[in-house]
Structure 1
C-alpha cells in the first residue's frame, strides 16, 4: 500500500508539474499544498503539518542546535538566486562601495540571518573584508511590517548590535527617509521600483557582478532545500522517489525553454528572451538549476561555513550532517 504523504512547496514553474499532478511520487499517495507566502510553508513545517516540505536553509540549519533536531534535507534546491542584487542603500548615506557599510545601520528582512542575508554577508566578508559586527542591524519587513518570527530560533552572536523595527515601521520607508543607511532584502523596496532617487543598489550593474562571481566561484546560491522528518528519512526507496519526482518536474520546466529556443521563445512575453537564455545557458550549462549533492556540494558547504561564521550555528556542519544518507551520492 502506498505511503500517504503531505507535501508542500511554493508554486514555482519547476514545481508546477508536481502541484498539478503531472509528476507523481512513486510508492506514495501524495497530496500537494502551497501557500501565497513561502514563509507560511516554513512555519507549518515547524508545526509538523507536512511530511515533505520546502524549507529555508537557515530555518532548517537552526534546528540542528536543538536537543533533537527533527529534519534532514533532500538535495533539492527549489529556490536560488544571486544576491549582490539584494543590497540597497540610501543615496545620501555616502555608501559608494561595500567597505563603506562599516559603521552603518543596515536593515535586514525578517530576521538576522535570513537566507539571502547569510549569502550576501558571507560574500561581503570573503571578498570585501566586511563582517557583520562592523555594522548595526534593524530587522523588519521591507514594505509591510513583519513581526518577529518567534517560531524559529533567533541566535545573535556576541558583539553584534541587532534590534527589531518598531511596530508599524517598514525598512523600505526607513531606508528612503535615511533612518537606516542600507538594506539587505529578498524584496526590492517598492519606492525604488516607483522611481525614488533616495534609494539605489549597492551594485548598480549587479548582473555583471553576479556573472563574474559565478565564473570565479562556480556558486549559484541556494536559498531553500526540501526537508523531511528524520524518522521518514530512513525510507530509502521513498526518499529516492521523492528526489526523482522533484527532479523530473524541474526538468520539464527546463526542457520547455530548450524547446522554446527553436521558435525564439515566441510563447514568452519578454523581448530578446532568446538572447538572454543563450547567454545564461553558455555560462551556467545545460542543467542550469541542478539538484543533487555532487553538483551542489560547494554551494552547500559554503552556506554552512557562512552560517557558522555568522554565529547562527554552534558548530560547523557538513553536507554529511544534513543530507539524507541515501542521497549523498546524487
Structure 2
C-alpha cells in the first residue's frame, strides 16, 4: 500500500490520544491529525470537503445520504458514546414529572433539530413512553451561548413538526430557567445547574444513572453519537480502511488495558475518588470490551439509530448498515 498525506480529524479523547502522541500510527499513511475544541468544527470541515477521514456526528453523516450520492462512507469506529436520559432537563415549575408530560410542551434542543442525542432520546420517548416529536414544539439554539443555525448541513424538518430557532442573544438555558421553554434536550448541562446557582432547573430523570443502566440491561444498547467517516473515493484504496480501523482499535485497547492493569492498585493515578468501584461496576455490566468497535457488537445500536433517523423524518428512506459502512469492514 502506498498512501501518503491524508488529513484525519478527530477529537482528542483519552482513547484517541495514542494517535496524537504517535504511540499508534496508521500503517502506510503519512497522517496529519487535526482537531478542535468544538467537535462540530471537525464535522463542518468534513462536510465542506476539507478532511479526508474524520469523526462525524452520526446524524450529520446520515443527512448526506439524501443528496444524489453521499460523498462519505463510514468505518465502524465510534469515538463518542453516551447514555442520553441524563440529557433531558425541565423547569421545576413546568409540572413535568414524567416523560409522558412532555406531550404538548415547548422543548429546547441543542444545535439543530435532530442532534445525535436528540435522535436517540426522541426515539426512546416514542418507543418507551408514547411521546412523539410532533406532539412537542421545538426551539433550537445554544444552551449557554447563542449559536447560529448550521448552514453547512441539510436540516430537514418533517411535516407536522414545529421547529424554530432562538433569536438574537437568546440561550436555551436561560429560557428554561425563565420558564419560556418547559424542557431542554441538550448535550451540554446548563451552566447554572452545574454551578448550583439555580433551583429552577432539574433533570427529568433525577436518578438518571439507574435509568440508563436499566436501559442497557434491557436493550444491550450503549448509544453511539459519532462515527468515523472517509471520503468515498478513498474507501477503495487498498488497505487504507483496514489500517485506519486497526489504528483506532489499537489506540482504544491501550487505554482499556491501562484501566484493567491499574485496577489492582485501585487506580491510584486517577484523581476521582471511588473510581475503582465505578470501574468494577461498569465492567460487570458492560463487559471486558466496554467500548466496542466493529459492526458485529454494534449492529443493534446502529440499526436502532437508523430506524429512529428515518421515523423522525431525517432520512427519506430507511438506511441499512450495508448502505453506510465501507464494505471491507462489514464483517468486523
Normalised TM-score (structure 2) = 0.98
Aligned twin of 1:26: 27
How big is the shift at 1:19?
Answer: 1.2
Hey, what's the Cα distance between the residues in 2 that align with 1:96 and 1:226? 37
Three-state SS of the structure 1 residue aligned to 2:5 is strand
Aligned twin of 1:141: 142
Deviations 1:207-235 (A, max 9, x none): 00000000000000000000001111112
Aligned twin of 1:284: 286
Long gaps (5+) in structure 1: none
Aligned twin of 2:205: 203
Query: Are residue 265 (structure 1) and residue 267 (structure 2) matched?
Result: yes
How big is the shift at 1:194?
Answer: 2.1
Hey, what's the Cα distance between the residues in 2 that align with 1:97 and 1:165? 26
Aligned twin of 2:296: 294
How big is the shift at 1:2?
Answer: 3.7
Hey, what's the Cα distance between the residues in 2 that align with 1:7 and 1:232? 12
Aligned twin of 2:105: 104
Contact 1:19 1:33 (C-alpha < 8 Å) held by counterparts? no
Name which of 228, 231, 240 aligns with 1:229: 231
Normalised TM-score (structure 1) = 0.99
Q: How does 1:73-222 map to 2 (within 5 A)?
A: 73-195=74-196, 196-222=198-224
Hey, what's the Cα distance between the residues in 2 that align with 1:227 and 1:140? 26
Hey, what's the Cα distance between the residues in 1 that align with 2:321 and 2:38? 28
Deviations 1:24-75 (A, max 9, x none): 1001111111101000000000111111100000000000000121000000
Aligned twin of 2:250: 248
Aligned twin of 2:331: 329
Q: CA RMSD in A?
A: 0.7
Three-state SS of the structure 2 residue aligned to 1:121 is helix
Count of aligned pairs between the two proteins: 330
Hey, what's the Cα distance between the residues in 2 that align with 1:111 and 1:248? 33
How big is the shift at 1:113?
Answer: 0.3
Hey, what's the Cα distance between the residues in 2 that align with 1:320 and 1:108? 30
How big is the shift at 1:3?
Answer: 2.4
Query: Are residue 47 (structure 1) and residue 40 (structure 2) matched?
Result: no
Aligned twin of 2:60: 59
Contact 1:236 1:326 (C-alpha < 8 Å) held by counterparts? no
Three-state SS of the structure 2 residue aligned to 1:28 is coil
Name which of 290, 299, 320 aligns with 2:322: 320
Hey, what's the Cα distance between the residues in 2 that align with 1:170 and 1:36? 20
Hey, what's the Cα distance between the residues in 1 that align with 2:136 and 2:187? 19
Deviations 1:60-115 (A, max 9, x none): 00000001210000000000000000000000000000000000000000000000
Three-state SS of the structure 1 residue aligned to 2:239 is helix
Hey, what's the Cα distance between the residues in 2 that align with 1:171 and 1:221? 24
Contact 1:105 1:135 (C-alpha < 8 Å) held by counterparts? yes
Contact 2:78 2:226 (C-alpha < 8 Å) held by counterparts? yes
Three-state SS of the structure 2 residue aligned to 1:108 is strand
Hey, what's the Cα distance between the residues in 1 that align with 2:317 and 2:80? 25
Hey, what's the Cα distance between the residues in 1 that align with 2:234 and 2:58? 19
Hey, what's the Cα distance between the residues in 2 that align with 1:212 and 1:65? 35
